[in-house]
A and B are shown apart, each in its own frame.
Chain A
Amino acid sequence: MTSLRSKGTFLKLYSWLPLIILFISVLNEFDLNYLNLDYFSFNFPFILIFFFTLKDFKNFDYIFVFIAGLFNDTVVGLPLGISSLSYILICIATSYFRNITIRPSPIKDWFYFLFVVSLINSINYSILTLFFSFNLILMNYLVNTFFTFTFYIIFALVFKHYLKSIND
Chain B
Amino acid sequence: MQQFLAVLIDAVNYASWLFIVASGLTLIYGVMRILNMAHGSLYALGAYTAASFVGFWSTHGYFPAGVFLMLIAAAVTVGVIMGPLIERGLLRLLYGKDEIVLLLATYALFLILEDVIKLGWGVDAYYVSQPYGLLGNVTLAGLSYPLYSFVVVGVAVAIGVGLSWVLNGTQRGKLLKAVIHDREVSQTLGINVSRYYMVTFTVGAILAAIGGAFTAPQISVSLGIGVEVIVLAFAVVVIGGLGSLPGAALGALIVGLARSLAVHYWPAVELFCVYFVMALVLVFRPQGLFAAPELRKI
**Do A and B share a complex?**
no
Task: Give me the interface of B with A, judged by CB distance under 8 Å.
Answer: none
Task: Give me the interface of A with B, judged by CB distance under 8 Å.
Answer: none
